Amino acid sequence: MNIEAKNLSKIYGDGENRVVALDHANLEIVSSDFISIMGPSGSGKSTLLHLLSGLDKPSSGSLTYDGKDIYSYSDKELSAFRRKRIGFIFQQFALMKHYTIFENVEIPLIALNIPKKKRKEIVMQSLDMVGIADYWKKLPANLSGGQQQRCAIARALVANKNIILADEPTGALDKMTGQEIMKILKKVNQQGKTVIVVTHDENVAQMGDRIIRIEDGRLV
């Protein structure tokens, strides 16, 4: 699935409170790319990721997936598109703290109405891929940060989505654990998934096939 952004902009507020978070971004991403989006805090990289994912709507410009502008979809259609196509990985893991690791990873499959018996098989395969199948009954608080991020990756992958978006996936981890997480994402990419990683870490960015740098809302 190819992605193309044309003159994509996002502006918050008006008058003295007007903030240009993203300024006429043009970007092409082809299927199975591994893209690193790099920039300092406040540069607009997370805004760009949210627009690419359909989590936020642009002030102007277009975003197409295989030639179809996703912002022409209704809210219901856009939600269904994200549910089927896009997996998210966040810096702070975004796990449900009262759910077990298994239950956290199971959530996307429930949303897709996958039968319960089939869900168990799929979840365990996903947990095994990221190396935490033995912890499936544990709560997130009983896992290390790296193990929690592995759970978040398993959740992003479990529904076989072909685009994985990661917002500072190593930001809350130590260097060694962060490298392990990036190796998993690299493996995911080699299996044919498109991976887009937002980071401010040069070492993390270098693991991508292509680095896109952003400053003050502009791609440079």
Q: pLDDT tens across 70-111, in order?
A: 999 999 999 999 988 999 998 788 899 999 999 999 999 998
Measure the CA–CA gap between 71 and 15, rounded to whole angstroms.
26
Measure the CA–CA gap between 137 and 107, rounded to whole angstroms.
15
pLDDT at 185: 93
pLDDT at 16: 85
Measure the CA–CA gap between 41 and 161, rounded to whole angstroms.
28
Measure the CA–CA gap between 114 and 106, rounded to whole angstroms.
10
pLDDT at 42: 86
Choose among 83, 90, 11: nearest CA to 47: 11
**Token pair for 42:** 């406040």
The bridge status of strand 194-199 relative to strand 19-29 is unpaired
Query: What is the mean pLDDT of the segment spanning 61-74?
Result: 93
Query: How much is the mean pLDDT over the chain?
Result: 92
pLDDT at 33: 95
Q: pLDDT tens across 11-48, in order?
A: 999 888 899 999 999 999 999 999 999 988 889 999 99
pTM given for the model? 0.90
Does residue 160 surpass a pLDDT of 90? no
Q: Quick check: 196 and 49 in contact, CB under 8 A?
A: yes
DSSP H helical segments within the chain, as ranges? 45-53, 75-85, 101-111, 116-129, 145-157, 175-190, 202-205
Query: What is the mean pLDDT of the segment spanning 130-153?
Result: 94
Q: pLDDT tens across 161-215, in order?
A: 899 999 999 988 888 898 999 999 999 999 999 999 999 889 999 999 999 999 9
pLDDT at 91: 79
